[in-house]
Chains A and B, each alone.
Chain A
Amino acid sequence: MADILFELTNVRKIYQMGAESVVALEDISLTFEKGKIYCLLGTSGSGKSTLLNLLAGLEKPTMGSIKFLGKPLEKLSEKQLTLYRQRYIGFVFQSYNLLPTLTALENVTLPLIFRKISKRKRTLAARKMLKAVGLGNRWRHKPNELSGGQQQRVSLARAFVNEPQVIFADEPTGNLDTKTTYEMMDLITGMARERNQTLIIVTHDTEISQYADQIISVRDGLIESVKTVEKEKNANESENKEHENEDNPATNDAVATDNNGNATTSE
Chain B
Amino acid sequence: MRIVDVLGMSVRNLYKRKMRTFLTLLGVMIGTASIILMISLGLATDAQFAQMMEDMNLDMTVITVWPQWGGMGWDPNTDSMVEFDERELTDESAERISRIPGVVVATPMMTSQMLFRTGPYFMAATVTGIRPEALALMGYNLEYGRFFTDDDEFAVVFSTRSELGFIDSTTDEFWSNRMWMDDPETLVDIHNDPIRAYYDMSWFWNRMGWGGGRGGGFGGDDDFGISIDEGFTPIRSFDINMIGVTTAPEFMWSSDRIYMHIEDLQTIERLRTEGERREREEREWNPHFSMVRDGDRQTYGEFFVRVRNMDDTRPVAEAIRDMGYRAHFDADWIEHQRRMNQGMETLLIVLAVVCLVLAAITIAITMITSVTERTSEIGLMKVIGATISDVRKLFLMESLFMGLLGGVVGIVLALGISFMMNNFEIAFLQNLNMGAPIMTTGAANASISLITPWLCGLALLIAGGVGLVGGYYPAWRATRLSALAAIRGE
Contacts and interface: CB of A to CB of B under 8 A. Distances in A.
Given A86-B385, A101-B12, 14 more contacts: A49-B487, A58-B484, A79-B387, A79-B388, A82-B382, A85-B384, A91-B384, A93-B486, A93-B487, A97-B376, A97-B380, A114-B385, A119-B4, A170-B487
A56 interface: yes
A157 to B, nearest CB: 12
Contacts of A116: 1-2
A218 B486 CA distance: 23
A100 B13 CA distance: 9
Query: Which DSSP category, helix, strand, loop or mixed, fits chain A's interface?
Result: mixed
- The range of chain B's interface size is 20 to 34
Interface string A102-115: 10000000110111
B185 to A, nearest CB: 86
Interface string B335-362: 0000000000000000000000000000
Nearest to B6: A113
Given A99-B380, A113-B5, A85 B385 contact: yes
B43 interface: no
Given A58-B484, A99-B377, A99-B380, A78 B13 contact: no
B384 A111 contact: yes
Contacts of B382: 82
Contacts of A56: 383
7 contacts: A49-B488, A58-B383, A59-B484, A93-B380, A114-B381, A114-B387, A114-B390
Interface string A76-101: 00110011011000110111010111
Nearest to A98: B380
Interface string B1-36: 110110001001100100000000000000000000
Interface of A: 49, 53, 56, 58-59, 78-79, 82-83, 85-86, 90-91, 93-95, 97, 99-102, 110-111, 113-116, 119, 158, 162, 170
Contacts of B488: 49
Contacts of A53: 484, 487
Nearest to A52: B487
Nearest to A86: B385
A233 B298 CA distance: 129
Contacts of A115: 385
B387 A110 contact: no
A234 B13 CA distance: 45
A119 to B, nearest CB: 8
Contacts of A119: 4-5
Contacts of B487: 49, 53, 58, 91, 93, 97, 170
Interface string B470-488: 0000000000000110111
Given A101-B12, A102-B12, A116-B1, A82 B380 contact: no
A102 B2 CA distance: 17
B467 to A, nearest CB: 20
Specify which of A53, A58, A119 lies most central, judged by the most chain B CB atoms within 10 Å of its CB.
Answer: A58
Nearest to B15: A101
A101 B384 contact: no
Nearest to B380: A97
A26 to B, nearest CB: 21
Interface in B387-416: 387-388, 390
A83 B387 CA distance: 8
B386 A114 contact: yes
B12 A97 contact: no
A101 B385 contact: no
Interface in B119-156: none
Nearest to B484: A58
Contacts of B9: 101-102
Given A93-B486, A95-B490, A170-B487, A114 B1 contact: yes
B300 to A, nearest CB: 83
Contact of B1 (A59, A79, A113, A170): A113
Contacts of B483: 58
A114 B385 CA distance: 6
